[in-house]
Amino acid sequence: MNNPASHRLAIYPGSFDPVTNGHVDLIARALHLFDNLIVAVAQNPSKTPLFSGDERCAMITESMRASEVVSELARVETVVFDGLLAHLAVARGATAIVRGLRAVSDFEFEFQIALTNRTLAPSVETVFLMPNARYTFLSSTIIKDVARHGGDVSRLVPPNVAVRLKTRFAKP
């Protein structure tokens, strides 16, 4: 029997502009550890995203439907948020924040953020997950740059995202 007191909800935050195969891989990995997952699409006022928050949420959901994660779709919620992640985690009753580490170079920044979140929300742990090795080089920034210059991103992002990128960067 499922004990509500032991319900484990995690938040996986990011810009997801756009979602990559590495992001989808981390969603699947997080679902092995947690009962439910909120994929929190950050609205960062210091950045100009290629896609709106709603478009990014839709791409995440579409990407999951097109992957092996489809059976877990009911356990995932996508939301757009601004403000402090720690506040969102507490407000939603999350027990953990999931962050991906692609390389050692990610660790120092992620460590600082994790300690800050621990200070702001002591009841919420940060869990670091590594993606499949074949996705360790992926970043949304690299994906956008390749797509902007007409490169093939079809092996790097879910099919629905590849179509949206091709449309967004189509030459008039």
Number of domains in the chain: 1
- Given the residues 8, 47, 87, 148, the one annotated as active site: 47
The rounded distance, in Å, linking the Cα atoms of 121 and 14 is 18
**How much is the pLDDT for 6?**
62
Instruction: Give the total residue count for the chain.
Output: 172
Any domain includes 39 = yes
Any domain includes 1 = no
The pTM of the full predicted model, rounded to 2 decimals, is 0.91
The rounded distance, in Å, linking the Cα atoms of 98 and 128 is 6
Q: Is 47 a catalytic residue?
A: yes
Q: Is 7 a catalytic residue?
A: no
Any domain includes 2 = no
- Given the residues 23, 29, 144, 164, the one annotated as active site: 23
Ranges assigned E (strand) in the chain: 9-14, 36-42, 76-81, 96-100, 125-129
CATH code at 103? 3.40.50.620
Which of 35, 53, 23, 31 is closest to 94 using CA atoms? 35
The rounded distance, in Å, linking the Cα atoms of 82 and 52 is 13
Any domain includes 24 = yes
Mean pLDDT of 26-40: 95
- Given the residues 75, 92, 102, 168, the one annotated as active site: 102
Any domain includes 86 = yes
**How much is the pLDDT for 66?**
78
- Given the residues 15, 99, 140, 164, the one annotated as active site: 140
Query: Which residue range is the domain that position 74 belongs to?
Result: 9-140
Any domain includes 147 = no
Any domain includes 165 = no
Which of 92, 91, 97, 88 is closest to 124 using CA atoms? 97
Residue 93 is given by DSSP the state T
**How much is the pLDDT for 70?**
66
pLDDT of 62 strictly over 60: yes
Any domain includes 127 = yes
Q: Is 23 a catalytic residue?
A: yes
Phi, psi of 124 (to 5 degrees): -110, 120
**How far from 63 is each of 94, 119, 141, CA to CA, in Å?**
24, 34, 18
Mean pLDDT of 68-78: 81
Q: Is 168 a catalytic residue?
A: no
